[in-house]
């Protein structure tokens, strides 16, 4: 199917807007250029409404014109001309969908459709329009062929199970797999019917019991499979949540545990108090230097040395030390003198000498309490007046340095304390605790679900084995019955047929998914310009679990929603949509609204080129910014370009007065490079201000 042209009247902003679509296979792109709020998304919605009816409208969406007020009659008409090629013959159709309703009415009206085949002889109305439309453009395919850059991201963003479900659904719908699934169900039903007939024919009790058991298994197994699927989904989600909670816990741990920080803060505060005490002690030691002996010795130096010289003189004269009396007294205890003479009191000379010594002792006693004092002074004061190294300056330097060092330590600790206090303020009371509890909760739930999945899987296997046994038994029992033989044959045929269809379904699922996967990879790598030798992104694939996965160097798996930039994410989802539509073999237009957001340069141009290559017909709704930078590829590939303008953008955005204040988009024939008085715009608010000032 290819779109030829479309016209919309009374559909929100669109009134009298008519678009011609390119049918040139070498220039297969149609560009609808429009700024934000000018009707691009409205036109995408209008196209879908026209082709698929009310089910294509978002919930609560009304196509009524913006200018109508409550009670007025709203008339909306969409007309699409399209062609369908089949068996070498191309037929052209004209579809008209119309809707009339009162503005503000709580009851929503249903649109009516008319379909005409355009024959050389004139238009021929076709009855049963919806049935025809379903063949030309199945509604199941709508969301794949009609999309926008943001919505396409849902294939790789959000919960993993939701991503997988969306990818799986898109693939299955486009490949027609639901039909095969229906066929499987149908053959199963036939099998059950034949089995029941065989049972009725034989009236064999055992056969009946076997049939009942088989039927019970036919009910139980899908139930268990459904529960297993649900549990597997829950496990996948819980794994995601567990991973997220674990990352949050790690982040919280990086920020720090409040108790640990508080403990560290107490330790620092204690250290700081000790440091402060050491500073006080150091100050005390330095102050002590102003009162100590070394200080006095060096400050009083001249006077002390003068006194010292006097005392030294006395010592040299023998007055110091004053030790005569003890020596003399000591001598009197002996019989001879130091000089060797006899002190024997029994000899006249000895007695005379002893008297003389006694006399000397008495004279010395009288002489000197003063000498004693001076003698003591000499010995006690020698440290003060003797020549010696000056130590006070080095003592002071040392003490001052110690104080400074300790002061530095004190200030460092103060800074550490302030940092910890700030850190403590930032850490919520229960950050780490909450994150840990959350993670543990998910772990507990996983611990419940994983064994449950194992049990369900086990049960399903057992039931399947039972079914195989029962089927064999049923076959044996049926075969015994003469009347049952015919049914046995039918049953065998039905079972074989089911096997064939089931295998076909399985093969299709696997093979088609692989084909889509390979195509998507090819398109994606082309779009982002990845070179196999050195690119950071090496390949993309659709996994057997229907997940879009991306691999970097060394086969490292990347999470598309986190590890890819915005342009690559969009390129990946567009590559997926293009691959899907191409592999499906369905020929239909790819209609994409704002596909080039966040892209620039190479990627933007290549996305357009690849999309053009991969599409039978490519219809792009683009803003001016999206067009900027890919004009050359549009020159080469765009067969039709039209520009839509919102007149209400005057005077802030539009340069020229459009002559109307109606909420109706204006259309002009300007292409992606040209402007006219209708669509000419200011590049920025500053330019508008400048013009207004002028």
Partner 1 sequence: MNPFAGSDIMVPEDYREHFDAFVQKKEGRAAQPVHQPFARNIDMWFFAICLAVKKGLTPAGNPGKTYKAAEGVVLNSDPWRPTALTLLAIGETDDITIVDRPGDMLRIANGYALAGLPELLALLQEREGDTALDYLSENVEQLLRPARPTAGAAV
Name the residues that contact partner 1, by CB under 8 A. Answer: 280, 283-284, 286-291, 293, 295-308, 310-311, 314, 370, 373-374, 376-377, 380-381, 383-385, 390, 392-393, 396, 400
Nearest to 588 by CA among 5, 20, 124, 141: 141
CB of 373 to partner 1, least distance (A): 5
CB of 290 to partner 1, least distance (A): 6
* Residue 181 or 402 having the CB closest to partner 1: 402
Residues 594 and 149 sit within 8 Å (Cβ to Cβ): yes
DSSP assignment, residue 684?
S
CB of 442 to partner 1, least distance (A): 58
Write the CB contacts of 575 (distance below 8 Å, at least 6 apart in sequence). Answer: 520, 521, 523, 524, 527, 540, 610
Helix (H) or strand (E) holding 116: strand 112-119
* Residue 286 or 342 having the CB closest to partner 1: 286
CB of 330 to partner 1, least distance (A): 25
CA distance 383 to 379: 8
* Residue 310 or 360 having the CB closest to partner 1: 310
CB of 414 to partner 1, least distance (A): 18
Neighbours of 105 (CB within 10 A): 12
* Residue 374 or 477 having the CB closest to partner 1: 374
Residues 615 and 587 sit within 8 Å (Cβ to Cβ): no
Write the CB contacts of 387 (distance below 8 Å, at least 6 apart in sequence). Answer: 305
**What angle is formed at CA 84 by the lines to CA 83 and CA 86, rounded to 5 degrees?**
150
* Residue 57 or 307 having the CB closest to partner 1: 307
* Residue 384 or 679 having the CB closest to partner 1: 384
CB of 246 to partner 1, least distance (A): 53
CB of 304 to partner 1, least distance (A): 5
* Residue 31 or 311 having the CB closest to partner 1: 311
Look at the chain and count its residues.
694
CB of 430 to partner 1, least distance (A): 42
3-state secondary structure 55-69: HHCCCCCCCCCCCCC
CA distance 328 to 362: 11
Beta-bridge mates of residue 14 = 11
CB of 366 to partner 1, least distance (A): 15
* Residue 159 or 300 having the CB closest to partner 1: 300
Burial label, 525 (beta-carbon count in 10 A; 0-12, 13-18, 19+) = buried
CB of 372 to partner 1, least distance (A): 10
CB of 299 to partner 1, least distance (A): 3
Radius of gyration, CA atoms only, the chain: 52
* Residue 284 or 566 having the CB closest to partner 1: 284
CA distance 543 to 547: 5
For 443, the token pair is: 């772990």
Question: What is the phi/psi pair of residue 271, to 5°?
Answer: -60, -40
* Residue 290 or 338 having the CB closest to partner 1: 290
* Residue 397 or 628 having the CB closest to partner 1: 397
CB of 405 to partner 1, least distance (A): 15
- What are the angstrom distances between the C-alpha of 614 and each of 169, 580, 608, 620? 21, 10, 10, 14
CB of 393 to partner 1, least distance (A): 6
CB of 327 to partner 1, least distance (A): 23
Sign of CA dihedral 386, 388, 394, 398: negative
* Residue 254 or 317 having the CB closest to partner 1: 317
* Residue 350 or 381 having the CB closest to partner 1: 381
CA distance 520 to 579: 5
User: What spatial distance separates the first Cα and last Cα of the chain, rounded to whole Å?
Assistant: 53
Write the CB contacts of 11 (distance below 8 Å, at least 6 apart in sequence). Answer: 42, 46, 49, 63, 65, 76, 77, 78
Nearest to 55 by CA among 5, 111, 11: 111
Question: What is the phi/psi pair of residue 17, to 5°?
Answer: -85, 130
Instruction: Give one DSSP letter per residue of 519-569, joined into a string.
Output: HHHHHHHHHHT--TTT-SEEEEEE-TTS-EEEEEGGG-EE-HHHHS-HHHH
* Residue 314 or 638 having the CB closest to partner 1: 314
CA distance 487 to 477: 12
CB of 293 to partner 1, least distance (A): 5
Instruction: Give one DSSP letter per residue of 239-268, joined into a string.
Output: HHHHHHHHHHHHHHHHH--HHHHHHHHHHH
* Residue 298 or 345 having the CB closest to partner 1: 298
């Amino acid at each position: 199917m290819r779109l030829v042209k479309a016209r919309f009247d009374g559909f929100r902003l669109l009134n009298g807007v008519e678009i011609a679509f390119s049918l040139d296979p070498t220039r297969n792109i149609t560009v609808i250029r429009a700024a934000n709020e000018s009707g691009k998304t409205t036109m995408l919605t209008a196209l879908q409404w026209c082709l698929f009816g009310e089910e294509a409208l978002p919930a609560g969406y009304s196509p009524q014109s913006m200018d109508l007020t409550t009670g007025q009659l709203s008339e909306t008409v969409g007309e699409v001309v399209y062609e369908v090629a089949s068996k070498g013959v191309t037929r052209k159709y004209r579809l008209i969908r119309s809707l009339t309703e009162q503005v503000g009415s709580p009851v929503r009206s249903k649109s009516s459709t008319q379909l005409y085949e355009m024959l050389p002889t004139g238009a021929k109305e076709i009855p049963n329009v919806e049935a025809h439309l379903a063949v030309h453009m199945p509604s199941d395919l709508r969301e794949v062929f009609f999309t926008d850059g943001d919505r396409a991201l849902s294939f790789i963003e959000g919960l993993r199970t939701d991503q997988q479900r969306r990818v799986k659904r898109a693939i299955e719908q486009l490949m027609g797999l639901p039909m095969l699934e229906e066929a499987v169900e149908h053959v199963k039903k036939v099998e059950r019917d034949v089995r029941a007939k065989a049972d009725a024919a034989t009236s064999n009790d055992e056969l009946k019991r076997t049939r009942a058991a088989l039927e019970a298994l036919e009910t139980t197994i899908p139930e268990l499979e459904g529960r297993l699927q649900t549990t597997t989904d829950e496990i996948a989600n819980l794994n995601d949540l567990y991973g997220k909670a674990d990352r949050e816990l790690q982040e919280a741990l990086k920020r720090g545990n409040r108790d640990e920080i508080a403990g560290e803060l107490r330790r620092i505060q204690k250290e700081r108090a000790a440091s402060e005490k050491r500073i006080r002690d150091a100050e005390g030691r330095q102050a002590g230097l102003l009162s100590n002996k070394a200080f006095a010795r060096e400050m009083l130096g001249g006077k002390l040395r003068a006194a010292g010289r006097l005392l030294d003189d006395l010592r040299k004269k023998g007055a110091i030390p004053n030790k005569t009396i003890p020596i003399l007294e000591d001598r009197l205890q002996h019989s001879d003198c130091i000089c060797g003479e006899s002190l024997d009191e029994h000899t006249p000379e000895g007695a005379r000498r002893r008297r003389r010594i006694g006399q000397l002792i008495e004279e010395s006693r009288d002489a000197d309490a003063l000498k004693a004092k001076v003698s003591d002074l000499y010995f006690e004061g020698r440290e003060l007046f003797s020549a010696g190294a000056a130590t006070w300056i080095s003592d002071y330097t040392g003490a001052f340095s110690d104080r400074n060092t300790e002061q530095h330590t004190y200030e460092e600790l103060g800074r550490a304390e302030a940092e910890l206090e700030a850190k403590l303020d930032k850490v919520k009371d229960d950050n780490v605790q909450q994150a840990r509890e959350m993670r543990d909760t998910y772990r507990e739930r996983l611990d419940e679900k994983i064994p449950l999945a194992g049990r369900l899987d086990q049960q399903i296997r057992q039931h399947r084995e039972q079914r195989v046994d029962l089927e064999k038994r049923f076959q044996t029992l049926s075969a015994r019955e003469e009347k049952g033989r015919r049914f046995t044959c039918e049953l065998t045929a039905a079972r074989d047929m089911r096997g064939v269809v089931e295998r076909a379904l399985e093969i299709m699922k696997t093979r088609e998914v692989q084909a889509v996967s390979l195509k998507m990879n090819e398109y994606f790598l082309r779009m982002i310009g990845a070179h196999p030798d050195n690119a950071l992104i090496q390949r993309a694939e659709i996994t057997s679990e229907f997940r879009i996965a991306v691999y970097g160097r060394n086969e490292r798996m990347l999470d598309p929603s986190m590890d890819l930039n915005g342009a690559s994410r969009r390129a990946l989802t567009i590559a997926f949509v293009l691959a899907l539509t191409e592999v499906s073999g369905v020929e239909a237009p790819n209609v994409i609204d704002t596909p080039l957001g966040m892209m620039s340069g190479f990627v933007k141009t290549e996305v357009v080129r690849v999309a053009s290559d991969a599409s039978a017909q490519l219809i792009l709704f683009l803003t001016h910014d999206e067009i900027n930078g890919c004009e050359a590829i549009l020159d080469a590939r765009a067969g039709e370009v039209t520009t839509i303008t919102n007149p209400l953008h005057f005077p802030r955005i539009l340069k020229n007065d459009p002559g109307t204040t109606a909420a109706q988009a204006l259309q002009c024939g300007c292409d992606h490079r040209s402007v006219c008085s209708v669509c000419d715009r200011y590049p920025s608010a500053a330019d508008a201000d400048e013009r207004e000032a002028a």
